């Protein structure tokens, strides 16, 4: 009986390791293979629609979101033309009400202003909606960075060459939004941060997808455990 128990334990451990560490990358590789194959057949002169070649939520237009927090209102402009999958993912969660009652779980202001982060953590007693509607599981999106000279963003890899860094379309400047992730490149999901100062050292490593266009004074007041009362899609 001990042998069977050990085998079961090994199987459970293997399954855990797969789902915890390898599943997001595995799923992305499959999806990205389909995505890249679909896009590679387009000619440069043709209008390319990323959103017709991916299963992720996707928007290739500028969008606007109002965050009503316990400290005041913050209005965001999101750049779907530069980061269509990241913006589509964000708007999908906004429209499901996922960011409502979401807590600012990381605020770094010392020794100098850095970031405020929000997403996933919600007020006690509230049910999380940060799941993919189709699968019922956490959704991971690829790292998405667009260079000025390219028609399409780059997916699943960091931009590190100095010549390319200078050509990144959206950079980590004060008031801009970027997706949080783990060390795994394609592990962004729902958490995002707003920059309290320009952080060029993050350029090419994280996906910038929008900026605060009003309410930056409110952003500066945010502390840990402050929260979003409601996030809603609005007109410009």
Give the pLDDT confidence score for residue 2 in this predicted structure: 43
Which regions of 20-71 does DSSP assign to beta strands (E)? 62-69
Q: What is the pLDDT of residues 146-161, one digit of tens each?
A: 999 899 999 999 998 8
Q: Is the pLDDT of residue 135 over 50?
A: yes
Query: From CA 83, how far away is CA 57, in angstroms rounded?
Result: 12
- Domain ranges in the chain are 3-234
**pLDDT grade, residue 89 (50/70/90)?**
very high
Give the pLDDT confidence score for residue 131 in this predicted structure: 85
The pTM score is 0.79
* Residue pair 196/109 in contact by the 8 Å Cβ criterion: yes
Both tokens of residue 52? 């017709």
Both tokens of residue 41? 């057949």
Query: From CA 87, how far away is CA 78, in angstroms rounded?
Result: 6
Q: Which letter does DSSP use for residue 77 in this model?
A: E
In the predicted model, what is the mean pLDDT of residues 104-111? 95
Domain 3-234 grouped into CATH 3.30.470.10: no
In the predicted model, what is the mean pLDDT of residues 175-194? 96
Query: From CA 171, how far away is CA 208, in angstroms rounded?
Result: 6
CA 56 and chain centroid, separation: 12
* Residue pair 83/170 in contact by the 8 Å Cβ criterion: yes
Burial of 226 (0-12, 13-18, 19+ CB in 10 A): middle
Q: What is the pLDDT of residues 17-58, one digit of tens each?
A: 444 544 554 444 444 443 443 333 333 333 456 888 888 999
């Amino acid at each position: 009986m001990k042998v069977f128990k050990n085998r079961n334990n090994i199987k459970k451990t293997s399954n855990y390791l797969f789902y915890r560490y390898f599943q997001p990358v595995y799923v992305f590789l499959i999806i990205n293979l389909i995505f890249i194959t679909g896009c590679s057949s387009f000619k440069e002169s043709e209008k390319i629609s990323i959103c017709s070649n991916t299963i992720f939520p996707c928007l290739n237009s500028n969008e606007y979101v109002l965050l009503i927090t316990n400290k005041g209102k913050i209005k965001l402009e999101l750049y779907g033309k530069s980061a269509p999958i990241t913006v589509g993912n964000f708007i999908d969660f906004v429209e499901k009400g996922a960011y409502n009652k979401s807590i600012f779980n990381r605020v770094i202001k010392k020794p100098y202003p850095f970031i405020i982060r929000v997403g996933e953590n919600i007020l006690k007693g509230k049910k999380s909606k940060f799941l993919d509607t189709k699968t019922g599981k956490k959704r991971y999106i690829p790292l998405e960075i667009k260079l000025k000279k390219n028609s399409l963003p780059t997916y699943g890899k960091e931009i590190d060459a100095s010549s390319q860094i200078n050509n990144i379309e959206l950079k980590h400047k004060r008031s801009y939004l970027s997706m949080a992730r783990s060390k795994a490149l394609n592990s962004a999901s729902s958490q995002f941060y707003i920059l309290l100062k320009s952080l060029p050292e993050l350029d090419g490593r994280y996906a910038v997808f929008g900026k605060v266009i009003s309410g930056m004074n409110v952003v500066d007041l945010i502390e840990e455990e402050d929260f979003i009362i409601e996030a809603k899609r609005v007109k410009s």
